[in-house]
Amino acid sequence: MTGATAEEVIWGHPLVARLLRLCRRLQRGDRRRPWLLDALLVLTVLVFFGLPDVLQHGAGQPRTDRVDGLPLASAAALMLGLVLPLLWRRRYPLTAFAVVAAVFVAQWAGNVWLHADVALFLALYSVVRHGPLRRLPWVGAVTAAALLLVVARVSIVLSPLVALFFLCSAATAAAALGLAVRIGTAYLGALRERATRLEVERDQRSRLAAAAERTRVAREMHDIVGHNLAVIIGLADGGRYAAVAAPKRGQEALELIAGTGRQALDELRRMLGVLREEQPGGPQFRPQPGIADLDALCARVRAAGPEVTYRTVGDLEALDRGHQLAVYRIVQEALTNTLKHAGADTRAQLTVAAEGPQVRIRVEDSGSPHGAPPRGGERPGDGEGQGLAGMRERTALYGGWLSTARRPGGGWVVEAVLDPAATARAAAEATAGATAEVTAEATAGATAGAVS
Protein backbone atom coordinates (compact mmCIF):
# COMPACT_ATOMS: atom_id res chain seq x y z
CA MET A 1 0.00 0.00 0.00
CA THR A 2 1.47 3.36 -1.00
CA GLY A 3 1.74 6.34 1.33
CA ALA A 4 -0.98 8.26 -0.50
CA THR A 5 -3.34 5.29 -0.31
CA ALA A 6 -2.66 4.82 3.40
CA GLU A 7 -3.32 8.52 3.99
CA GLU A 8 -6.61 8.29 2.12
CA VAL A 9 -7.58 5.28 4.25
CA ILE A 10 -6.78 7.15 7.48
CA TRP A 11 -8.72 10.27 6.55
CA GLY A 12 -11.60 8.22 5.23
CA HIS A 13 -11.96 6.17 8.44
CA PRO A 14 -15.40 6.71 10.09
CA LEU A 15 -13.89 7.47 13.50
CA VAL A 16 -11.53 10.08 12.07
CA ALA A 17 -14.39 11.60 10.08
CA ARG A 18 -16.55 11.86 13.21
CA LEU A 19 -13.69 13.46 15.14
CA LEU A 20 -13.16 16.00 12.38
CA ARG A 21 -16.87 16.85 12.33
CA LEU A 22 -16.81 17.26 16.12
CA CYS A 23 -13.78 19.56 15.89
CA ARG A 24 -15.48 21.67 13.24
CA ARG A 25 -18.59 21.99 15.39
CA LEU A 26 -16.48 23.01 18.39
CA GLN A 27 -14.69 25.62 16.31
CA ARG A 28 -17.96 27.07 15.03
CA GLY A 29 -19.39 27.13 18.57
CA ASP A 30 -16.22 28.70 19.93
CA ARG A 31 -16.37 31.48 17.33
CA ARG A 32 -19.98 32.23 18.27
CA ARG A 33 -19.51 32.00 22.09
CA PRO A 34 -15.79 32.10 22.98
CA TRP A 35 -16.48 32.26 26.74
CA LEU A 36 -18.41 28.98 26.73
CA LEU A 37 -15.40 26.75 26.00
CA ASP A 38 -13.33 28.42 28.73
CA ALA A 39 -16.16 28.02 31.24
CA LEU A 40 -16.48 24.36 30.26
CA LEU A 41 -12.73 23.87 30.82
CA VAL A 42 -12.90 25.46 34.29
CA LEU A 43 -15.89 23.33 35.22
CA THR A 44 -14.12 20.17 34.00
CA VAL A 45 -11.00 20.91 36.06
CA LEU A 46 -13.08 21.60 39.18
CA VAL A 47 -15.12 18.42 38.78
CA PHE A 48 -12.31 16.00 37.91
CA PHE A 49 -9.44 17.51 39.94
CA GLY A 50 -10.93 19.73 42.65
CA LEU A 51 -14.04 17.81 43.70
CA PRO A 52 -12.15 14.63 44.79
CA ASP A 53 -10.07 16.67 47.26
CA VAL A 54 -13.19 18.36 48.69
CA LEU A 55 -15.14 15.10 49.04
CA GLN A 56 -12.20 13.32 50.59
CA HIS A 57 -11.76 16.12 53.12
CA GLY A 58 -15.48 16.24 53.94
CA ALA A 59 -15.59 12.51 54.60
CA GLY A 60 -13.25 12.95 57.51
CA GLN A 61 -10.50 10.81 56.06
CA PRO A 62 -6.95 11.54 57.13
CA ARG A 63 -5.30 13.95 54.68
CA THR A 64 -2.05 14.90 56.38
CA ASP A 65 -0.23 14.01 53.17
CA ARG A 66 -2.35 16.47 51.15
CA VAL A 67 -3.44 19.54 53.10
CA ASP A 68 -1.91 19.09 56.47
CA GLY A 69 -5.17 19.88 58.24
CA LEU A 70 -5.98 22.89 56.07
CA PRO A 71 -9.62 23.99 56.55
CA LEU A 72 -12.02 23.16 53.75
CA ALA A 73 -12.74 26.83 53.02
CA SER A 74 -9.03 27.61 52.61
CA ALA A 75 -8.53 24.57 50.36
CA ALA A 76 -11.53 25.60 48.24
CA ALA A 77 -10.15 29.14 47.96
CA LEU A 78 -6.83 27.79 46.75
CA MET A 79 -8.62 25.60 44.17
CA LEU A 80 -10.64 28.53 42.87
CA GLY A 81 -7.50 30.69 42.77
CA LEU A 82 -5.85 28.04 40.61
CA VAL A 83 -8.78 27.34 38.30
CA LEU A 84 -10.86 30.52 37.89
CA PRO A 85 -8.08 32.54 36.13
CA LEU A 86 -8.39 30.04 33.26
CA LEU A 87 -11.57 31.88 32.27
CA TRP A 88 -9.28 34.65 30.88
CA ARG A 89 -6.56 32.34 29.54
CA ARG A 90 -7.11 33.41 25.91
CA ARG A 91 -7.84 37.12 26.31
CA TYR A 92 -5.17 37.77 28.98
CA PRO A 93 -2.89 34.71 28.94
CA LEU A 94 0.04 36.34 30.80
CA THR A 95 -2.17 37.71 33.57
CA ALA A 96 -3.94 34.38 34.00
CA PHE A 97 -0.60 32.54 34.15
CA ALA A 98 0.81 35.01 36.69
CA VAL A 99 -2.20 34.57 39.01
CA VAL A 100 -2.15 30.78 38.72
CA ALA A 101 1.65 30.67 39.29
CA ALA A 102 1.35 32.94 42.33
CA VAL A 103 -1.38 30.77 43.90
CA PHE A 104 0.61 27.64 42.98
CA VAL A 105 3.78 28.90 44.70
CA ALA A 106 1.84 30.07 47.77
CA GLN A 107 0.11 26.68 48.02
CA TRP A 108 3.33 24.68 47.84
CA ALA A 109 5.11 27.09 50.14
CA GLY A 110 2.50 26.06 52.73
CA ASN A 111 3.10 22.40 51.83
CA VAL A 112 -0.46 21.93 50.54
CA TRP A 113 -1.02 19.27 47.89
CA LEU A 114 -3.96 19.67 45.50
CA HIS A 115 -4.97 17.88 42.29
CA ALA A 116 -6.07 21.25 40.87
CA ASP A 117 -2.37 22.07 40.38
CA VAL A 118 -2.89 20.84 36.83
CA ALA A 119 -4.13 24.40 36.19
CA LEU A 120 -0.48 25.54 36.04
CA PHE A 121 0.13 23.37 32.96
CA LEU A 122 -3.10 24.59 31.35
CA ALA A 123 -2.03 28.18 31.97
CA LEU A 124 1.41 27.41 30.50
CA TYR A 125 -0.23 25.94 27.39
CA SER A 126 -2.41 29.06 27.05
CA VAL A 127 0.59 31.42 27.26
CA VAL A 128 2.48 29.48 24.58
CA ARG A 129 -0.65 29.24 22.43
CA HIS A 130 -1.98 32.81 22.75
CA GLY A 131 0.66 34.95 24.46
CA PRO A 132 3.53 37.00 23.01
CA LEU A 133 6.49 34.81 22.13
CA ARG A 134 9.04 37.27 23.50
CA ARG A 135 7.74 36.60 27.04
CA LEU A 136 8.15 32.82 26.85
CA PRO A 137 11.65 32.75 28.44
CA TRP A 138 10.28 34.52 31.54
CA VAL A 139 7.31 32.18 31.64
CA GLY A 140 9.66 29.20 31.39
CA ALA A 141 11.82 30.52 34.23
CA VAL A 142 8.80 31.03 36.50
CA THR A 143 7.52 27.53 35.68
CA ALA A 144 10.93 25.97 36.40
CA ALA A 145 11.15 27.78 39.76
CA ALA A 146 7.65 26.64 40.76
CA LEU A 147 8.41 23.04 39.77
CA LEU A 148 11.68 23.05 41.74
CA LEU A 149 9.68 24.07 44.80
CA VAL A 150 7.37 21.09 44.22
CA VAL A 151 10.38 18.75 43.87
CA ALA A 152 11.76 20.02 47.18
CA ARG A 153 8.43 19.36 48.92
CA VAL A 154 7.83 15.86 47.53
CA SER A 155 11.43 14.69 48.00
CA ILE A 156 10.45 13.19 51.37
CA VAL A 157 8.20 10.62 49.67
CA LEU A 158 9.58 10.47 46.11
CA SER A 159 12.98 10.54 44.47
CA PRO A 160 13.80 14.14 43.42
CA LEU A 161 15.04 12.99 40.01
CA VAL A 162 11.85 11.03 39.32
CA ALA A 163 9.66 13.94 40.44
CA LEU A 164 11.68 16.39 38.36
CA PHE A 165 11.48 14.10 35.32
CA PHE A 166 7.69 13.75 35.42
CA LEU A 167 7.06 17.43 36.21
CA CYS A 168 9.39 18.62 33.44
CA SER A 169 7.80 16.13 31.05
CA ALA A 170 4.33 17.51 31.82
CA ALA A 171 5.50 21.13 31.40
CA THR A 172 7.33 20.31 28.17
CA ALA A 173 4.28 18.50 26.81
CA ALA A 174 2.02 21.49 27.61
CA ALA A 175 4.44 23.96 25.99
CA ALA A 176 5.02 21.72 22.96
CA LEU A 177 1.29 21.22 22.44
CA GLY A 178 0.66 24.95 22.65
CA LEU A 179 3.47 25.70 20.21
CA ALA A 180 2.30 22.98 17.78
CA VAL A 181 -1.27 24.28 17.80
CA ARG A 182 -0.01 27.85 17.39
CA ILE A 183 2.17 26.94 14.42
CA GLY A 184 -0.59 24.85 12.85
CA THR A 185 -3.11 27.67 13.23
CA ALA A 186 -0.66 30.19 11.78
CA TYR A 187 0.07 27.83 8.88
CA LEU A 188 -3.62 27.39 8.13
CA GLY A 189 -4.12 31.15 8.36
CA ALA A 190 -1.24 31.67 5.93
CA LEU A 191 -2.77 29.12 3.55
CA ARG A 192 -6.13 30.87 3.72
CA GLU A 193 -4.47 34.23 3.13
CA ARG A 194 -2.50 32.81 0.21
CA ALA A 195 -5.66 31.28 -1.26
CA THR A 196 -7.41 34.65 -0.94
CA ARG A 197 -4.45 36.43 -2.51
CA LEU A 198 -4.32 33.91 -5.36
CA GLU A 199 -8.03 34.38 -5.94
CA VAL A 200 -7.56 38.15 -6.08
CA GLU A 201 -4.60 37.74 -8.44
CA ARG A 202 -6.65 35.37 -10.60
CA ASP A 203 -9.45 37.94 -10.81
CA GLN A 204 -6.91 40.64 -11.65
CA ARG A 205 -5.39 38.47 -14.37
CA SER A 206 -8.86 37.84 -15.75
CA ARG A 207 -9.61 41.56 -15.78
CA LEU A 208 -6.26 42.32 -17.43
CA ALA A 209 -6.86 39.61 -20.02
CA ALA A 210 -10.35 41.00 -20.67
CA ALA A 211 -8.92 44.52 -21.01
CA ALA A 212 -6.23 43.28 -23.42
CA GLU A 213 -8.87 41.42 -25.42
CA ARG A 214 -11.06 44.53 -25.55
CA THR A 215 -8.08 46.53 -26.79
CA ARG A 216 -7.36 43.94 -29.46
CA VAL A 217 -10.98 43.85 -30.57
CA ALA A 218 -11.12 47.66 -30.63
CA ARG A 219 -7.98 47.74 -32.78
CA GLU A 220 -9.37 45.17 -35.20
CA MET A 221 -12.72 46.99 -35.34
CA HIS A 222 -10.94 50.24 -36.08
CA ASP A 223 -8.86 48.64 -38.84
CA ILE A 224 -11.85 46.95 -40.46
CA VAL A 225 -14.54 49.60 -40.03
CA GLY A 226 -12.27 52.62 -40.49
CA HIS A 227 -10.77 51.38 -43.74
CA ASN A 228 -13.99 50.21 -45.32
CA LEU A 229 -15.92 53.31 -44.28
CA ALA A 230 -13.19 55.52 -45.74
CA VAL A 231 -13.44 53.61 -49.03
CA ILE A 232 -17.25 53.80 -48.99
CA ILE A 233 -17.17 57.56 -48.30
CA GLY A 234 -14.69 58.11 -51.12
CA LEU A 235 -16.82 56.07 -53.50
CA ALA A 236 -19.97 57.90 -52.43
CA ASP A 237 -18.32 61.30 -53.02
CA GLY A 238 -17.17 60.25 -56.45
CA GLY A 239 -20.51 58.64 -57.31
CA ARG A 240 -22.41 61.79 -56.32
CA TYR A 241 -20.61 63.83 -58.96
CA ALA A 242 -20.64 61.00 -61.53
CA ALA A 243 -24.40 60.45 -61.16
CA VAL A 244 -25.06 63.67 -63.12
CA ALA A 245 -22.21 63.67 -65.65
CA ALA A 246 -21.74 59.90 -66.15
CA PRO A 247 -24.62 57.78 -64.78
CA LYS A 248 -22.76 54.59 -65.69
CA ARG A 249 -19.83 55.58 -63.48
CA GLY A 250 -22.31 56.35 -60.68
CA GLN A 251 -23.75 52.86 -61.02
CA GLU A 252 -20.25 51.37 -60.85
CA ALA A 253 -19.58 53.40 -57.70
CA LEU A 254 -22.75 52.03 -56.10
CA GLU A 255 -21.72 48.49 -56.97
CA LEU A 256 -18.29 49.07 -55.45
CA ILE A 257 -19.91 50.53 -52.31
CA ALA A 258 -22.09 47.45 -52.00
CA GLY A 259 -19.10 45.13 -52.47
CA THR A 260 -17.00 47.01 -49.92
CA GLY A 261 -19.87 46.95 -47.43
CA ARG A 262 -20.30 43.20 -47.87
CA GLN A 263 -16.58 42.62 -47.36
CA ALA A 264 -16.62 44.77 -44.20
CA LEU A 265 -19.60 42.78 -42.94
CA ASP A 266 -17.81 39.49 -43.65
CA GLU A 267 -14.69 40.65 -41.79
CA LEU A 268 -16.76 41.79 -38.82
CA ARG A 269 -18.56 38.43 -38.73
CA ARG A 270 -15.25 36.60 -38.92
CA MET A 271 -13.73 38.66 -36.09
CA LEU A 272 -16.79 38.51 -33.82
CA GLY A 273 -17.21 34.81 -34.51
CA VAL A 274 -14.01 33.98 -32.65
CA LEU A 275 -15.32 35.82 -29.58
CA ARG A 276 -18.22 33.44 -29.05
CA GLU A 277 -18.27 29.68 -28.74
CA GLU A 278 -18.45 28.03 -32.12
CA GLN A 279 -21.66 26.09 -32.60
CA PRO A 280 -21.68 22.71 -34.38
CA GLY A 281 -22.78 23.19 -37.95
CA GLY A 282 -22.42 26.97 -37.62
CA PRO A 283 -21.09 29.25 -40.33
CA GLN A 284 -17.51 28.75 -41.43
CA PHE A 285 -15.41 31.93 -41.54
CA ARG A 286 -12.53 32.70 -43.85
CA PRO A 287 -9.00 32.99 -42.47
CA GLN A 288 -7.53 36.35 -41.53
CA PRO A 289 -6.19 38.42 -44.46
CA GLY A 290 -2.56 38.18 -45.46
CA ILE A 291 -0.05 39.24 -48.11
CA ALA A 292 -2.16 37.75 -50.91
CA ASP A 293 -5.02 40.11 -50.02
CA LEU A 294 -2.98 43.29 -50.48
CA ASP A 295 -3.85 43.39 -54.22
CA ALA A 296 -7.58 43.43 -53.42
CA LEU A 297 -6.97 46.07 -50.74
CA CYS A 298 -5.18 48.34 -53.20
CA ALA A 299 -7.95 47.76 -55.77
CA ARG A 300 -10.60 48.92 -53.27
CA VAL A 301 -8.61 52.04 -52.48
CA ARG A 302 -8.12 52.75 -56.20
CA ALA A 303 -11.87 52.42 -56.72
CA ALA A 304 -12.36 55.26 -54.21
CA GLY A 305 -10.18 57.59 -56.32
CA PRO A 306 -6.52 57.56 -55.26
CA GLU A 307 -3.91 56.24 -57.66
CA VAL A 308 -2.13 53.41 -55.81
CA THR A 309 1.07 51.76 -57.00
CA TYR A 310 1.92 48.47 -55.28
CA ARG A 311 5.35 46.83 -55.41
CA THR A 312 6.75 43.82 -53.53
CA VAL A 313 10.32 42.63 -53.01
CA GLY A 314 11.38 39.21 -51.69
CA ASP A 315 9.49 36.08 -50.71
CA LEU A 316 6.60 37.52 -48.70
CA GLU A 317 4.48 34.37 -48.95
CA ALA A 318 6.96 32.54 -46.71
CA LEU A 319 5.96 34.68 -43.73
CA ASP A 320 3.78 33.08 -41.08
CA ARG A 321 0.08 33.99 -40.83
CA GLY A 322 0.50 36.30 -37.83
CA HIS A 323 3.31 38.17 -39.56
CA GLN A 324 1.23 38.54 -42.73
CA LEU A 325 -1.79 39.80 -40.78
CA ALA A 326 0.35 42.49 -39.11
CA VAL A 327 1.67 43.61 -42.54
CA TYR A 328 -1.86 43.70 -43.97
CA ARG A 329 -3.29 45.75 -41.07
CA ILE A 330 -0.42 48.27 -41.17
CA VAL A 331 -0.84 48.76 -44.92
CA GLN A 332 -4.62 48.98 -44.51
CA GLU A 333 -4.36 51.69 -41.86
CA ALA A 334 -1.75 53.67 -43.81
CA LEU A 335 -3.85 53.65 -47.01
CA THR A 336 -6.96 54.51 -45.01
CA ASN A 337 -5.20 57.57 -43.58
CA THR A 338 -4.11 58.53 -47.09
CA LEU A 339 -7.67 58.27 -48.37
CA LYS A 340 -9.16 60.17 -45.41
CA HIS A 341 -6.66 63.01 -45.21
CA ALA A 342 -5.23 63.40 -48.72
CA GLY A 343 -8.49 62.83 -50.58
CA ALA A 344 -9.37 60.98 -53.76
CA ASP A 345 -6.99 62.90 -56.05
CA THR A 346 -3.77 61.84 -54.37
CA ARG A 347 -1.17 59.36 -55.57
CA ALA A 348 0.11 56.69 -53.20
CA GLN A 349 3.01 54.30 -53.57
CA LEU A 350 3.16 51.11 -51.48
CA THR A 351 6.30 49.03 -51.15
CA VAL A 352 6.54 45.82 -49.11
CA ALA A 353 10.01 44.29 -49.05
CA ALA A 354 11.22 41.13 -47.32
CA GLU A 355 14.90 41.14 -46.37
CA GLY A 356 15.49 37.83 -44.63
CA PRO A 357 13.30 37.72 -41.51
CA GLN A 358 12.84 41.50 -41.68
CA VAL A 359 9.91 43.12 -43.51
CA ARG A 360 9.94 46.78 -44.49
CA ILE A 361 6.70 48.59 -45.35
CA ARG A 362 6.68 52.04 -46.96
CA VAL A 363 3.57 54.01 -47.89
CA GLU A 364 3.96 57.52 -49.29
CA ASP A 365 1.38 59.81 -50.85
CA SER A 366 1.51 63.07 -52.74
CA GLY A 367 -0.90 64.77 -50.36
CA SER A 368 -3.99 66.79 -51.14
CA PRO A 369 -3.71 68.76 -54.40
CA HIS A 370 -5.53 71.66 -52.72
CA GLY A 371 -2.99 71.85 -49.89
CA ALA A 372 -5.37 70.92 -47.07
CA PRO A 373 -7.14 67.76 -45.89
CA PRO A 374 -10.49 67.50 -47.67
CA ARG A 375 -12.49 66.49 -44.63
CA GLY A 376 -10.51 67.91 -41.70
CA GLY A 377 -8.62 66.06 -39.01
CA GLU A 378 -4.97 65.60 -38.22
CA ARG A 379 -2.53 63.64 -40.28
CA PRO A 380 -0.33 60.95 -38.70
CA GLY A 381 2.31 62.59 -36.58
CA ASP A 382 0.08 65.54 -35.60
CA GLY A 383 -1.80 63.46 -33.07
CA GLU A 384 -1.86 59.93 -31.67
CA GLY A 385 -5.07 58.34 -32.90
CA GLN A 386 -6.38 54.83 -32.43
CA GLY A 387 -5.07 53.74 -35.83
CA LEU A 388 -1.55 55.05 -35.29
CA ALA A 389 -1.44 53.48 -31.82
CA GLY A 390 -2.55 50.16 -33.34
CA MET A 391 0.19 50.35 -35.96
CA ARG A 392 2.80 51.01 -33.28
CA GLU A 393 1.53 48.05 -31.24
CA ARG A 394 1.75 45.72 -34.23
CA THR A 395 5.28 46.78 -35.12
CA ALA A 396 6.41 46.53 -31.48
CA LEU A 397 4.92 43.05 -31.27
CA TYR A 398 7.36 41.93 -33.95
CA GLY A 399 10.37 43.82 -32.59
CA GLY A 400 10.14 46.65 -35.12
CA TRP A 401 9.47 50.36 -35.28
CA LEU A 402 7.18 52.85 -37.01
CA SER A 403 7.90 56.34 -38.31
CA THR A 404 5.69 59.00 -39.94
CA ALA A 405 6.97 62.19 -41.58
CA ARG A 406 6.01 64.87 -44.10
CA ARG A 407 7.46 64.66 -47.61
CA PRO A 408 9.41 67.67 -48.83
CA GLY A 409 7.17 68.06 -51.88
CA GLY A 410 3.92 67.52 -49.97
CA GLY A 411 2.20 64.48 -48.60
CA TRP A 412 3.26 61.98 -46.00
CA VAL A 413 5.52 58.97 -45.63
CA VAL A 414 4.71 56.07 -43.31
CA GLU A 415 7.49 53.53 -42.83
CA ALA A 416 7.33 50.42 -40.67
CA VAL A 417 9.85 47.65 -40.06
CA LEU A 418 8.94 44.26 -38.61
CA ASP A 419 11.92 42.33 -37.26
CA PRO A 420 10.95 39.16 -35.31
CA ALA A 421 14.64 38.22 -35.09
CA ALA A 422 15.25 41.27 -32.88
CA THR A 423 12.71 40.00 -30.36
CA ALA A 424 14.33 36.55 -30.42
CA ARG A 425 17.79 38.11 -29.95
CA ALA A 426 16.57 40.22 -27.02
CA ALA A 427 15.03 37.16 -25.37
CA ALA A 428 18.24 35.17 -25.94
CA GLU A 429 20.37 37.98 -24.49
CA ALA A 430 18.07 38.23 -21.44
CA THR A 431 18.27 34.45 -20.93
CA ALA A 432 22.05 34.49 -21.34
CA GLY A 433 22.33 37.35 -18.84
CA ALA A 434 20.16 35.54 -16.30
CA THR A 435 22.19 32.34 -16.78
CA ALA A 436 25.46 34.25 -16.30
CA GLU A 437 24.07 35.83 -13.11
CA VAL A 438 23.03 32.47 -11.70
CA THR A 439 26.40 30.94 -12.64
CA ALA A 440 28.26 33.82 -10.98
CA GLU A 441 26.19 33.52 -7.82
CA ALA A 442 26.71 29.76 -7.73
CA THR A 443 30.47 30.16 -8.25
CA ALA A 444 30.64 32.80 -5.51
CA GLY A 445 28.65 30.59 -3.17
CA ALA A 446 30.88 27.58 -3.85
CA THR A 447 34.01 29.69 -3.31
CA ALA A 448 32.65 31.06 -0.04
CA GLY A 449 31.78 27.54 1.09
CA ALA A 450 35.26 26.29 0.26
CA VAL A 451 36.88 29.17 2.16
CA SER A 452 34.69 28.63 5.23
Establish if 145 belongs to a structural domain. yes
Residues 294 and 240 in one domain: yes
Q: Average the pLDDT over 288-305 and give the result.
A: 84
pLDDT attached to residue 274: 55
Establish if 265 belongs to a structural domain. yes
**Using one digit for the tens of pLDDT, what is the confidence trace for 422-446?**
655 655 554 455 444 434 444 444 3
Residues 6 and 36 in one domain: no
pLDDT attached to residue 435: 46
Establish if 209 belongs to a structural domain. no
Residues 59 and 115 in one domain: yes
Domain range for residue 8? 1-26
Residues 189 and 308 in one domain: no
pLDDT attached to residue 313: 87
pTM: predicted TM-score of the whole model, two decimal places: 0.47
Establish if 33 belongs to a structural domain. yes
- Per-residue pLDDT band for 144 (boundaries 50, 70, 90) equals very high
Asked whether the beta carbons of 101 and 140 are under 8 A apart, the reply is no
Residues 20 and 77 in one domain: no
Closest CA to 357 of 445, 282, 306, 424: 424
Closest CA to 97 of 22, 29, 175: 175
Would you tell me how many other CB atoms lie within 10 Å of the CB of residue 335?
28
| % of the chain beyond a pLDDT of 70 | 68
**Using one digit for the tens of pLDDT, what is the confidence trace for 79-100?**
888 888 988 888 889 999 999 9
Residues 35 and 129 in one domain: yes
Closest CA to 411 of 366, 347, 356: 366
- Lowest mean pLDDT across 68-82, 151-165, 195-209, 231-245: 231-245
Residues 147 and 184 in one domain: yes
Residues 394 and 262 in one domain: yes
pLDDT above 80: residue 450 = no
Residues 310 and 219 in one domain: yes
Q: Which residues are registered as beta bridge partners of 308?
A: 348
In angstroms, rounded to a whole number, what is the distance separating the alpha carbons of residues 352 and 312? 5
- Lowest mean pLDDT across 24-33, 361-370, 390-399: 24-33
Q: How many domains does the chain have?
A: 3
- Per-residue pLDDT band for 39 (boundaries 50, 70, 90) equals confident
Establish if 304 belongs to a structural domain. yes
Give the mean pLDDT of the chain.
Answer: 75
CATH code for the domain in which residue 267 is found: 3.30.565.10
pLDDT attached to residue 358: 86
More confident residue, 244 or 260: 260
Residues 8 and 44 in one domain: no
**Using one digit for the tens of pLDDT, what is the confidence trace for 165-195?**
999 999 999 999 989 988 988 888 888 888 8
* Range picked from 70-74, 111-115, 252-256 for highest mean pLDDT: 111-115
Residues 152 and 176 in one domain: yes
Establish if 429 belongs to a structural domain. no
Establish if 183 belongs to a structural domain. yes
Establish if 240 belongs to a structural domain. yes
